[in-house]
Chain A
Amino acid sequence: MSNECLTVVGGGLVGAAIAYGAARAGARVRLLDQGDVAFRASRGNFGLVWVSSKGSGVPRYARWSRDAAKLWPALHKELLELTGVDSGLRQPGGFWLGFSEAEVEARAKVLEKIDREAGGVPFQMMEPAELRQYLPGLGSAVVGGSFGPLDGHANPLMLLHGLHAGLRLKGADVINGVDVKQVKYDASSSLFEAIAGDGQSWKSERIVLAAGLGNASLTPQVGLCAPVAATRGQVLITERLKPFLDYPTNKARQTVEGTVQIGSTSEDVGLNDGTSSDKIEWLARRAVATFPALAQARLVRAWGALRPLTPDGYPVYQESPSCPGAYVATCHSGVTLASAHALVIGPWMSGLAQTPAEFDVFKGDRFAGPNTSVSHDH
Chain B
Amino acid sequence: MTDRVADLVIIGAGPAGMAAACEARSLGLSVLLLDEQVTIGGQIYRSIESAPTDRRTILGQDYAAGQRLVAEFRASGAQYLGGATVWKVSLDGTVDYVANGKAAKAAGKHILIASGAMERPFPIPGWTLPGVMGAGAGQILLKSAGALPTNPIVLAGCGPLLYLLASQYLRAGAKIAALVDTTAPSAYLRAIRYLPAALKGWRDLGKGVKLLTVLRRQAVPVFSGASGLQIEGEKQVEGVTFTHRRKRVQLPASLVLLHQGVVPNTQLSWSIGAEHRWSADQLCWQPVTDAWGRLGETSIYVAGDSRAIVGAQASAVQGRLAALAIGQRLGAATSIARRSNPLLRELKRHTHIRPFLDALYRPNNENRIPESDNVMVCRCEEVTSGQIRHYVQLGCLGPNQTKAFGRCGMGPCQGRFCGLTVTEMIAQARGVEPSDIGYYRIRPPIKPITLGELGG
Binding site for B on A (CB under 8 A): 33, 35-37, 40, 42-43, 157, 160-161, 164-165, 168, 174, 176-177, 236-239, 257, 262, 274-275, 277, 280-281, 284-288, 294-304
Max count, chain A CB within 10 A of own CB: residue among B90, B395, B399, B406 = B395
Q: How far is the CA of A277 from the CA of B450 in the complex (A)?
A: 14
Complex Cα–Cα for A148 and B395 (A): 37
The answer to whether A275 and B443 touch across the interface, beta carbons within 8 angstroms, is yes
- Contact: B448 with A239, CB < 8 Å? yes
Minimum distance in angstroms from A168 CB to a CB of chain B: 6
Contact with A along B380-404 (1 / 0, CB 8 A): 0000000000010011111111001
Query: Complex formed: what's the CA distance from A297 to B398 in Å?
Result: 30
Q: Which residues of B contact A281 (CB under 8 A)?
A: 103, 454-455
- B400 x A37 contact (CB < 8 A): yes
From known contacts A36-B401, A161-B406, A295-B450, infer whether A239 and B395 are also in contact, taking CB-CB under 8 Å.
no
**Chain A contact residues, majority secondary structure:** mixed
Chain B interfacial positions (CB closer than 8 Å to A): 88, 90, 94, 96, 103, 105, 273, 391, 394-401, 404-407, 410-412, 414, 437-438, 441, 443-445, 448-452, 454-456
Whether A296 and B405, one on each chain, are in contact in the complex, defined by CB atoms closer than 8 angstroms, is no
> B410 to chain A: which residues have CB within 8 Å?
237, 300-301
CA distance A238 to B407 in the complex (A): 13
Known: A168-B394, A239-B412. A295 touches B438 (CB 8 A): no
A300 and B411 contacting across the interface, CB-CB below 8 Å: yes
Of A43, A165, A257, A300, the most chain B CB neighbours within 10 A belong to: A300
Q: A35-B397, A176-B397 are in contact. Are A302 and B444 (CB under 8 A)?
A: yes
A285 pairs with B405, CB closer than 8 A: no
**Closest chain A CB from B235 CB (angstroms):** 22
Docked-complex contact A176 and B90, CB < 8 angstroms: no
Assembly CA distance A223 to B105 (angstroms):
51
> Is B398 a contact of A294 with CB atoms below 8 Å?
no
The smallest C-beta distance from A355 to any residue of chain B, in angstroms, reads 31
Q: B90, B273, B397: which has the most chain A beta carbons within 10 Å?
A: B397
Are A299 and B438 within 8 A (Cβ)?
no
Most buried by B among A160, A168, A239, A280: A280
Known: A284-B455, A296-B452, A302-B445. Is A37-B404 also a contact (CB below 8 A)? Answer: no
The 6 nearest A-B residue pairs measured at CB: A36-B398, A295-B452, A285-B455, A284-B454, A284-B455, A298-B448
A299 touches B448 (CB 8 A): yes
Question: In the complex, which residues of chain A have a beta carbon less than 8 angstroms from the beta carbon of B397?
Answer: 35-36, 176-177
**B452 and A160 contact, CB distance less than 8 A:** no
Chain B contacts for A295, CB-based, 8 A: 450-452, 455-456
Cα distance A298–B437 when bound, in Å?
A: 30
Q: Nearest residue in B to A36 (C-beta to C-beta)?
A: B398
Q: Which of B398, B449, B452 has the most CB of A within 10 A?
A: B452
Interface CB pairs A-B, < 8 A, 13 = A36-B399, A160-B404, A161-B404, A161-B406, A239-B411, A257-B407, A284-B455, A288-B455, A295-B452, A296-B451, A300-B445, A301-B414, A304-B443
Q: Which of A43, A164, A277 contacts B394 (CB 8 A)?
A: A164
- Residue in A164, A285, A298 whose Cβ sees the most chain B Cβ within 10 Å: A298
- Alpha-carbon distance between A299 and B414 when the two chains are bound, in angstroms: 11
Chain A CB count within 10 A is highest, among B88, B94, B437, B454, for: B454
Contact in complex: A296, B450 (CB < 8 Å): yes
Answer whether A157 and B405 are a contact pair too, CB < 8 Å, given A37-B441, A281-B103, A303-B443.
Answer: yes
A168 to B396, CA, bound (A): 13
CB distance from B36 to the nearest CB of A (A): 15
Q: How far is the CA of A301 from the CA of B404 in the complex (A)?
A: 13
Q: How far is the CA of A181 from the CA of B399 in the complex (A)?
A: 24
Known: A236-B451, A299-B449, A300-B411. 17 other contacts (CB 8 A): A36-B397, A36-B398, A36-B399, A36-B437, A164-B405, A237-B410, A239-B448, A275-B444, A277-B96, A277-B444, A285-B455, A288-B451, A297-B450, A298-B449, A300-B412, A301-B410, A301-B445
Q: In chain A, what residue has the closest Cβ to B407?
A: A257
| Whole-angstrom distance between the Cβ of B408 and the nearest chain A Cβ | 11
Closest Cβ of chain A to B386, distance in Å, is: 14
Tell whether, in the assembled complex, residue B395 and residue A298 are in contact, meaning their CB atoms are under 8 Å apart: no
Residue numbers in A under 8 Å from B103 (CB-CB) = 281
Contacts of B443 in A (CB 8 A): 274-275, 301-304
